[in-house]
Amino acid sequence: MSGSKKYSISLPEDLAEVVRAHVGPGGFSAYVAEALEQRVAMDRLGEIVAHFETHNDPLAHDDVEAARALLRHDEHRMGQDAA
C-alpha cells in the first residue's frame, strides 16, 4: 500500500466504540484499514470463484474445504506475525 490520506467516514457509534475500546485510540485507523483490506481480498476472491465457475464446473465440496483450510492457516500465520 502507498501513503496514507485522511478520509471522513460515518460508522455506527456502538461499533466504533467497541473497536476503540478493543484497540485503543491510537490503533483505530490501522484496525479499520486492515478490515477494509480483508474485505477487498474477500470480494476479489468471490470474483475469482464466480469467474472460475462460469468457465468450469462448480467447485467440489472438498475443493472449498481445502481453500478454507489454507485461509485458516494464513490467518493463523498472520496472527503470529503480528505478535
pLDDT at 36 over 90: yes
Q: What percent of the chain shows pLDDT beyond 70?
A: 87
* pLDDT mean across residues, the chain: 86
Are 59 and 52 in contact, with CB atoms under 8 Å apart? yes
User: In the predicted model, what is the mean pLDDT of residues 39-51?
Assistant: 89
Q: How confident is the model at residue 29 (pLDDT cuts 50, 70, 90)?
A: very high
In angstroms, the Cα distances linking 36 to 53, 61, 70, 75 are 26, 28, 21, 15
Can you give the pTM of this predicted structure? 0.63
